[in-house]
Amino acid sequence: MVTRSSSYDAIIVGAGPNGLAAAITIAQAGRSVLVLEAKETIGGGCRSDTVTLPGFTHDICSAIHPLALASPFFRALPLERYGVEWIHPTLPLAHPLDDGRAAVIARSIEATGESLGSDASAYKKLMQPLVENWQIIIDTFLGPLRSNILQHPLKMAQFGLLASRSGSGLARSHFNDSLARAIFAGMSAHAMLPLETPPGAAIGLIMGLLAHTVGWPLPKGGSQKIVDALAAYLRDLKGKIITGVEVKSLDDLPPAQVVLCDVTPRQLLRMAGSRLSGWYKRQLQHYRYGPGIFKLDIALDGPIPWTAEACKHAGTVHVGGTLSEIAAAERAVWKGIHPEHPFVLLAQQSLFDDTRAPADKHTVWAYCHVPHGSHVDMTERIEAQIERFAPGFRDRILSRHTANAIEVERYNPNYVGGDINGGVQDFRQLFTRPTLQPVPYATSDKHLYLCSSSTPPGGGVHGLCGYFAARAALQHLEAM
């Protein structure tokens, strides 16, 4: 129960990773914090549940967490003390083709090159300099525009020239074989942009860079373990969390010096009302959301019978064929078309975490991109793509749970239209989301801040949107 008689230094609306990160940052400064969550469980886009059969634990939204290990905020927290145990699959990523071959992204550049044939040296030439400077690149990429660009201009310029390209453009210019082109296309498709659109290559490079430096791990027991650990740490800092409280208007909140909202611009407009200036409201009204996803969770009577051996050892498998096929699917989505052969992002956590399913059974976590706000059921198309590279897959299905883009938004309102990135991440909205101003987390109300994935650095479980927003709020609190 929330009582208006109580007063707090800060109230956080939303208990996703960013909301909890904001609360922790403020509580670490000795300030009183209240977190309000509309759902009965915390987590936002980082929740786990039994949605198919008893004994099968499925990650509802996020599943594989390279950004969590790369995040300077998470690295400074004692998450392991609160129950987070990271598991590294044998291979971070595999990408099969129809001829039975599969490209892989291994922890080492050399092992990766062994799967890329004639493009091994080209891949090493592309990635080795980035790996050598990975900390500078990641720290700059994971946040608002900051001083690292000025402190390391040559190193960042080297990355920037590559990152500013489209995913398909970089893949075609650097690689000759279909394997290397396909696996880079798949990593670039995480940007949820057409592969021909800059700066899609930035996401592809970052995904590969993370694999070679921190890996693509999964948390034992499910992604819920991450937010449960954040919540436990916050409570030890005397922070308070109340679930089942939907904030429809900020005017209904208890008194607080500052309010931080882990919501997207559309929700902030509804909640903040007259507290925002006309100029700022107009800016938020022009904020753009991207394509959605169709999510599929499956309980299996055995592992996926991949044709390519490498896929049986990878935590993540990109299912979509060649660069041209992936590009066609992603292009179709942006035209409002549901591709017949979608690009499928798939994780098989139970191969490496035996807590996810009963003995000899397995889980599948998969989704594909769809047009914004889609109601279309993509189950058949996703399963056909998996069957294409794993004949006999369908025979092992015990149960499935589906969610179209609208149902994904209903589950997590921050996924507007099914957009899991909190908004388009192109040049216009990559570093300047949600508006172009010196402190993107601040609003026109000096007591109100935005701390969701609609602020830099965008989507992913890293907590940095919340951390940077909280730092901005603390500056205001200290000046009062």
**Is residue 65 domain-resident?**
no
What does residue 452 show for φ and ψ, rounded to 5 degrees? -95, -175
pLDDT > 70 in the chain, percent: 96
Long-range CB contacts (within 8 A, 24+) of 331-337: 331/194, 331/195, 331/196, 333/291, 333/369, 333/370, 333/371, 334/193, 334/194, 334/291, 334/371, 336/371, 337/371
User: Are 253 and 308 within one domain?
Assistant: no
pLDDT of 1 above 70:
no
- The answer to whether the CB of 44 falls within 8 A of the CB of 415 is no
Among the ranges given (105-109, 145-149, 228-232, 296-300), the one the predictor scored with the smallest mean pLDDT: 145-149
pLDDT of 119 above 80:
yes
Total residues found in the chain within this entry: 480
Q: What is the pLDDT of residue 306?
A: 98
User: Are 280 and 296 within one domain?
Assistant: no
Q: What is the pLDDT of residue 153?
A: 61
User: Are 33 and 154 within one domain?
Assistant: no
User: Are 240 and 310 within one domain?
Assistant: no
State the CATH number of the domain containing residue 159: 3.90.660
What does residue 185 show for φ and ψ, rounded to 5 degrees? -60, -40
Q: What is the pLDDT of residue 152?
A: 57
User: Are 206 and 336 within one domain?
Assistant: yes
User: Are 112 and 209 within one domain?
Assistant: yes
User: Are 309 and 353 within one domain?
Assistant: yes
Among the three residues 392, 411, 430, which one is the final residue of a domain in this structure?
411
**Is residue 370 domain-resident?**
yes
**Is residue 206 domain-resident?**
yes
**Is residue 61 domain-resident?**
no
Confidence band for 480, pLDDT divided at 50, 70 and 90: confident
Q: What is the pLDDT of residue 156?
A: 73
**Is residue 436 domain-resident?**
yes
**Is residue 464 domain-resident?**
yes
Could you tell me the residue range of the domain that residue 100 belongs to?
Answer: 86-218+291-411
**Is residue 79 domain-resident?**
no
Q: What is the pLDDT of residue 457?
A: 92
pLDDT of 471 above 90:
yes
**Residue 233 in tokens:** 């740490």
Q: For residue 423, what is the DSSP state?
A: S
Does this model's pTM top 0.85? My answer is yes
User: Are 264 and 301 within one domain?
Assistant: no
Model confidence pLDDT, tens digit, residues 125-165? 999 999 999 988 998 888 775 544 545 566 677 888 999 99
CA distance 415 to 29: 31
Among the three residues 411, 443, 467, which one is the final residue of a domain in this structure?
411
- The answer to whether the CB of 417 falls within 8 A of the CB of 405 is yes
User: Are 273 and 379 within one domain?
Assistant: no
- The answer to whether the CB of 209 falls within 8 A of the CB of 137 is yes
Name the residue type at position 442: A
Q: What is the pLDDT of residue 149?
A: 54
**Segment 372-394 mean pLDDT:** 98
User: Are 235 and 214 within one domain?
Assistant: no
Domain total of the chain: 2
User: Are 208 and 328 within one domain?
Assistant: yes
Among the three residues 411, 442, 461, which one is the final residue of a domain in this structure?
411
**Is residue 121 domain-resident?**
yes
Model confidence pLDDT, tens digit, residues 205-218? 999 999 999 999 99
CA distance 18 to 32: 18
pLDDT of 334 above 70:
yes
**Segment 225-235 mean pLDDT:** 98
Quote the Cα angle for 474-477-479, to 5°. Answer: 110
User: Are 471 and 402 within one domain?
Assistant: no
Model confidence pLDDT, tens digit, residues 61-117? 999 999 999 999 999 999 999 999 999 999 999 999 999 999 999 999 999 999 999
Mean of the per-residue pLDDT values for the chain?
95
State the CATH number of the domain containing residue 455: 3.50.50.60
Model confidence pLDDT, tens digit, residues 402-451? 999 999 999 999 999 999 999 999 988 877 799 988 899 999 999 999 99
10 Å CB burial of residue 244 (0-12, 13-18, 19+) is: exposed
